[in-house]
Structure 1
Amino acid sequence: MLDSKPVRVAERRYFKEKPTPEEVRWLAARLPGGARDLLSTRSRRYKELGLAERDLSEDELIALLAAEPGLWRRPVVVRGDRVVVGYDAPSLEELLEGRE
């Protein structure tokens, strides 16, 4: 979808360049569910760590997401102060077209 739009894309590979806790916090602050919205509950790493059985605070989730890129829902698309997580075609389309 990003390739078909006339937008400049800066790609970041979180497995090679892990985000800082501050970056995760910035993204989480722009999502209705906070850091939980960044978390992939279907990932292998999520299951390995037994996260479904744990009640983690926002700070704990942020630290975990900064340390474990395998826990991220992808893609994470940022435009200005707006963030869309996961392949949500209508939301991505809206973001890329600059609609509110």
Structure 2
Amino acid sequence: MALEIWHNPRCSKSRQALAYLQDQGLTPEIRLYLNAPPSAAEIRSMLAALGLPAADLLRKDGAALKSESEDAIIAAMAANSALIERPVIRNGDKAVIGRPTEAIDQIL
């Protein structure tokens, strides 16, 4: 699997993560996840690469969902991709949430 970023160009942290990758000479596959929402299966795959429970991939505005089941949280994120924390960077079978940007080094 290629280097991939779930990116929101309107988010400064997401732009910083993309610039960080590009400054290292890397060209990730850019997924504008708000325009092309990931399926529940893709979210599960990303969570496995992250090694995190679904609640840890929720943005702050999804905090009310944190007490829900794993399946319910994933379904909510698949239905409303704006609930997904950003940026998420995947390199093969490993992934990180790129906050802070230096966290990306863990998968490069």
- Residues 31 and 9 of structure 1, relative CA distance in 2, 3 Å threshold: closer
CA RMSD, aligned part only?
1.8
Superposed CA offset, 1:7-48 (max 9, x none): 22100011111111000011112334321221111x3xx37x
Q: Which runs of 5+ in 1 are unaligned?
A: none
Matches within 5 A, 1:23-34: 23-34=42-53
> Structure 1 pair 86/39, CA: closer, same or farther in 2 (3 Å)?
farther
> Which one has a larger percent strand, Structure 1 or Structure 2?
2
Q: Of the two structures, which has the highest relative contact order with CA contacts closer than 8 Å and spacing of 6 or more?
A: 2
Q: What percent of counterpart residues are identical?
A: 31
Larger radius of gyration: 1
Pick aligned residue for 1:17 from 19, 31, 36? 36
SS class of match (1:11) = strand
User: Which of 55, 65, 70 is the equivalent residue of 1:36?
Assistant: 55
Structure 2 residues without counterparts, runs of 5 or longer:
1-19
Aligned length: 89
> Is 1:66 paired with 2:78?
yes
- Corresponding residue number in structure 1 for 2:103: 91
Corresponding letter in the other structure for 1:90: E
State the AA in 2 paired with 1:29.
Answer: A
* TM-score, normalisation: structure 2: 0.72
Distance 2:47 2:54 in 1: 5
